[in-house]
Structure 1
Amino acid sequence: MNKFIYLLLLPIFGFGQLNIDRAQDLIKKNQFEQAEQILVEYVNGNPNDIQATELLGDAYGHQKKWDEAIEQYKKLVESSPQNANYHYKYGGVLGMKSLSVSKLKALGIIGDVKASFLKAAELDPEHVDVRWALVELYMQLPGIIGGSKSKSLKYASELENLSPVDGYLAKGYIHEYDKEPELAEKYYMQALKIGGSVTCFEKLTSFYENQNEPLKAIGNLEKAYRKHNRNAMHYQIGKVCADYNIQLEKGERCLKAFIKNHSVKDGVPLEWGYFRLAQIRKNKLDKPGALKWINKALATKVDFEQAEEEKAKILAL
Structure 2
Amino acid sequence: MQRFCAVLAGLSLTALGVAAVDPAAFKAAVELYQQHKPLEAQKAFETLAQADGKNADIQFYLGRLALQRDDHEQAVACFEKAVALVPDDARFHHRLGDAYGLAAQKAGLFSKISLAGKCQAEYEKAVELDGKSVDARQSLFNFYLQAPGFAGGSKEKALTQAEEIKRLDPPRGRQIFAAYYANEQKYALALAEFDEVLKDKPDDYTSLYQVGRLAANTGQFLDRGLAALRRCVELPAPAGEPGHAAAHWRIGNILEKQGDKPGARAAYEASLKADPKFPQAIEALKKL
Both proteins in one fold, TM over 0.5? yes
Q: Which residue of 2 aligns with 1:111?
A: 117
Distance of 2:286 and 2:106 partners within structure 1:
27
Q: Tell whether 2:139 aligns with 1:125.
A: no
Q: Given residue 110 of structure 2, which amino acid in structure 1 is its aligned partner?
A: L
Q: Given residue 52 of structure 2, which amino acid in structure 1 is its aligned partner?
A: V
SS of the aligned residue for 1:179 comes to: coil
SS of the aligned residue for 1:150 comes to: helix
Q: Which residue of 2 aligns with 1:41?
A: 50
Q: Any conservation in 2 of the 1:35–1:59 contact (CA below 8 Å)? A: no
After superposition, the Cα gap between the structure-2 partners of 1:139 and 1:42, relative to the gap in structure 1 and judged at 3 Å, is same
| CA deviation vs aligned residue, 1:232-254 (integer Å, no higher than 9, x gap) | 89998897466325xx8xx99xx
TM superposition shift of 1:147: 0.9
Q: Tell whether 2:66 aligns with 1:96.
A: no
After superposition, the Cα gap between the structure-2 partners of 1:78 and 1:172, relative to the gap in structure 1 and judged at 3 Å, is same
TM superposition shift of 1:21: 4.8
After superposition, the Cα gap between the structure-2 partners of 1:235 and 1:207, relative to the gap in structure 1 and judged at 3 Å, is closer
Q: Which residue of 1 aligns with 2:211?
A: 204
Q: Given residue 101 of structure 1, which amino acid in structure 2 is its aligned partner?
A: A
| CA deviation vs aligned residue, 1:49-90 (integer Å, no higher than 9, x gap) | 333333343344444443333233223323322211111121
Q: Which residue of 1 aligns with 2:141?
A: 135
After superposition, the Cα gap between the structure-2 partners of 1:220 and 1:59, relative to the gap in structure 1 and judged at 3 Å, is closer
SS of the aligned residue for 1:125 comes to: coil
Structure with higher helix content: 1
Which residue of the other structure, out of 77, 91, 99, is the alignment partner of 1:71? 77
RMSD: 3.9
Gaps of 5+ in 1: 1-12, 260-266, 274-302, 311-317
Distance of 1:308 and 1:160 partners within structure 2:
41
Q: Which residue of 1 aligns with 2:241?
A: none
TM superposition shift of 1:218: 1.6
TM superposition shift of 1:272: 8.8
Distance of 1:224 and 1:62 partners within structure 2:
19
Q: Any conservation in 1 of the 2:32–2:38 contact (CA below 8 Å)? A: yes
TM-score by length of 2: 0.68
Distance of 1:304 and 1:229 partners within structure 2:
19
Distance of 1:64 and 1:223 partners within structure 2:
25
Q: Any conservation in 1 of the 2:178–2:191 contact (CA below 8 Å)? A: yes
Distance of 1:244 and 1:172 partners within structure 2:
24
Q: Given residue 105 of structure 1, which amino acid in structure 2 is its aligned partner?
A: S
Distance of 1:202 and 1:37 partners within structure 2:
31
| CA deviation vs aligned residue, 1:129-157 (integer Å, no higher than 9, x gap) | 11111121111101122211111111111
SS of the aligned residue for 1:172 comes to: helix
After superposition, the Cα gap between the structure-2 partners of 1:43 and 1:144, relative to the gap in structure 1 and judged at 3 Å, is same
Q: Which residue of 2 aligns with 1:288?
A: none
Q: Tell whether 2:258 aligns with 1:244.
A: yes
Distance of 1:170 and 1:128 partners within structure 2:
10
Q: Given residue 99 of structure 2, which amino acid in structure 1 is its aligned partner?
A: V
Counterparts of 1:1-317 in structure 2 under 5 Å?
16-17=22-23, 20-21=26-27, 23-24=29-30, 27=33, 29-31=37-39, 34-35=43-44, 37-44=46-53, 47=54, 49-196=55-202, 197-213=204-220, 216-219=221-224, 221-222=226-227, 230=234, 240=254, 243-245=257-259, 269-270=269-270
SS of the aligned residue for 2:153 comes to: coil
Q: Given residue 93 of structure 1, which amino acid in structure 2 is its aligned partner?
A: A
TM superposition shift of 1:224: 8.0
TM superposition shift of 1:188: 2.5
Identity %: 21
Q: Given residue 201 of structure 2, which amino acid in structure 1 is its aligned partner?
A: G
Q: Given residue 187 of structure 2, which amino acid in structure 1 is its aligned partner?
A: P
SS of the aligned residue for 2:132 comes to: coil
Distance of 1:106 and 1:238 partners within structure 2:
30
Gaps of 5+ in 2: 1-18, 236-243, 274-280
Which of 1 and 2 has greater Rg? 1
After superposition, the Cα gap between the structure-2 partners of 1:180 and 1:243, relative to the gap in structure 1 and judged at 3 Å, is closer
Q: Given residue 70 of structure 1, which amino acid in structure 2 is its aligned partner?
A: V
SS of the aligned residue for 1:129 comes to: helix
The structure, 1 or 2, with the larger RCO (C-alpha pairs under 8 Å, 6+ apart) is: 2
After superposition, the Cα gap between the structure-2 partners of 1:97 and 1:55, relative to the gap in structure 1 and judged at 3 Å, is same
TM-score by length of 1: 0.63
